Structure 1
Amino acid sequence: MRKPIDLGYGISLIDVFDLGKENRTGTYVIHEEDITIIETSASPSIPYLLKGLEALEVDTAEVKYIIVTHIHLDHAGGAGLLLERCPNAKVIVHPKGKRHLVNPSRLIQGARAVYGQQFDEFFNPILPIPEDRLVVKEDGDTLQIGKNRTLTFLNTPGHANHHFSIYDPYSSGIFTGDTVGVYYPQLLSKGFEFYLPSTSPNQFNPQAMLEAADRIENLNIDRIYFGHYGMSENPDLAFKQLRYWLPIFVETGESVTKEQADASFKEKTASISKGLFAKISEYLAEKNVSPSPDVDEIIQLDLNVCAMGIADYLEKKK
């Protein structure tokens, strides 16, 4: 268990060890009159989240809101389990995500298809959330959590259609889930700041992702709170790297699907992942960033899922 990180502006970050890995997925706690949690990760992360709240001296009965940026299980899978410990909380979700939290059967089916035999280890249990404990926020809706603090919800598809980002003017920051990609703080120790798009199945749309990034950038924020993982105070670089890598991701997928037109979906995704990993490794080498097994493992893990989203997108595009 790591101590929660004080990010300033009344925001703490709890490392919830998604997939058993540190610096992978975070839960944010906003300390206001209405204690607000953003992102829960999957159910195996909830013990870490609860220990983090204990370290912050936050009683679960004090939690008023639990916000999930979108309903993918690594962001919202643990919401039902956490809710059992937070008797006075409501879960806030995108309008297109509500029905899946009430009945998570399709979420479970989709995740099983991606993760196979590892599904139970990574995600169980997934508990349905009673409808009367869900609150839907539409694009532009707000939520006042403190006397001088109001959050604004922005529809930001691209990674998923059921995705919103939460703008916090008080910190001049925004909680982006996966919309503008993944931040790899593991590389900071090597003197390099690195971001990649998150293109997981099955609603990935590169044009929508770029439009969402433009919308967020136009807020002139000073910091981004990533679902994976942590706070960046260099949003300009995050947007720049998203725009650099996203076409490369799609072009790599197009090249593979053209060359391997008769290959299976599994074979195509393996080739896309391999091709992207080679390009990323070459890029990092050019930046004099030496490889390390822990960083390579986490990037490869992400690329395996990203490749599925790219292959799925191109298949639908045909």
Structure 2
Amino acid sequence: SDGHRAIVDPGPGSTLDTLHQQLRARGLGVGDLDAMLLTHIHLDHAGATGALVRENPRLAVYVHKNGAPHVIDPSKLLASAQRLWPNELQRLFGEALPVPAENLRILEGGEDLKLGSRKVEVVYTPGHASHHVSYFDKTEGVAFVGDTAGVRIEGNSFVMPATPPPDIDLGIWDTSFAAILERKPTRLFLTHFGYSDNPSEHILLFRERLHRWAALTAEILRRAASDSAAMDSFMSATYAEISEHLPAGEAEHYAFSAGLNLSFLGLARYLRKSATAAS
């Protein structure tokens, strides 16, 4: 607004061509941008940031303090991703270049940003990741919530969790839901994908499924002979649930977008950490 242009979550390096095309369709280029607002640093949200800063060195990059070191030096982030996607990393995410420290604007949550004529509140919303923030556009009354409110294919009301390791924490996530709802946004913008015009219902449905999948994971872990067998059982059960709500093609799209195997790993890690802490 007022000539100030920002993008929330530019996506992975593998989709840079699409981003350039979408900017051109609006009569813009990367050089016309002023800021990148990162909800968190996972490669599917922030991987393209370094390439965009290389193209436009004046870009301001807003990122939570817990994620900032990994934007400056993404080597540990890439090594972690390589373990999760040993044969697919380059195809899925492309290149993730480092961002110079001088381009970063470090966030903690609680900041009020002025982007042109827009007033944007930064709210710390962990649960999916310890470095997750959401951006509340006070001018329009809308919220950009990254992965805090799950995965929903545009045009469909079905919403599902994405719970990759290592930071999943359902108790903290519940506080993030409350933080979003108390601000009464009229619309939630999800990085995956599109938006919801009924934030309360969307979050209610998502929270119910998130906790139900955690309970499912706990039950499967109790009776499975191995982690491999447990993952297979989880993926089978959750895919069956998705398929009850969606046609086959869309169900496959949802399952791939959320990464059911990674969701199992994240929930299993959370449950085991919680059990250890309680003992």
Partner secondary structure for residue 87 of structure 2: helix
How many correspondences in the alignment? 273
Q: Does 1:35 align with 2:5?
A: yes
Aligned to 2:262: 305
Deviations 1:145-194 (A, max 9, x none): 123x1111100000000000000011211000001111222xx3xxx511
Q: How big is the alpha-carbon RMSD for the aligned residues of Structure 1 and Structure 2?
A: 1.5
CA distance in 2, matches of 1:314, 1:270: 18
In the alignment, the residues of structure 2 paired with residue 203 and residue 127 of structure 1 have an alpha-carbon distance, to the nearest angstrom, of: 23
Amino acid at match of 2:101: E
The alpha-carbon distance between structure 1 residues 249 and 64, as it changes in their structure 2 partners (threshold 3 A), is: same
Identity over the aligned pairs, expressed in percent? 28
1:215 corresponds, among 156, 163, 179, to: 179
Deviations 1:74-101 (A, max 9, x none): 0001110111222321111011000001
Aligned residue type for 1:274:
S
Distance apart, 1:236 and its partner CA: 1.9
Which residue is 1:10 aligned to? Answer: none
Amino acid at match of 2:122: F
**1:99 to 1:244, Cα distance in 2 relative to 1, 3 A:** same
Q: Relative contact order (C-alpha < 8 Å, sep 6+): which is higher?
A: 2
Deviations 1:105-152 (A, max 9, x none): 1111111111110011112311111111111122111211123x1111
Secondary structure of the residue aligned to 1:162 is coil
Equivalent of residue 135 in structure 2, options 162, 166, 173: 166
> For residue 91 of structure 2, what is the aligned residue in structure 1?
121
Q: Which amino acid aligns with 1:66?
A: M
- 4+ long deviations beyond 4 Å: none
Alignment of 1:239-278 (within 5 A): 239-260=203-224, 262-264=225-227, 266-278=228-240
- 1:280 is displaced (CA, Å) by 3.2
Paired residue type of 1:210: D
Report the TM-score, using the length of structure 2 for normalisation: 0.93
Structure having the larger proportion of residues in strand: 1
Aligned to 1:25: none
Distance 1:59 1:268, change over 3 A: same
Q: Which amino acid in structure 2 is aligned with residue 193 of structure 1?
A: S
**Contact 1:175/1:225 (<8 A) preserved:** yes
> If the length of structure 1 is used for normalisation, what is the TM-score?
0.82
Unaligned runs of at least 5 residues, structure 1: 1-30
2:145 is paired with a residue of what secondary structure?
strand
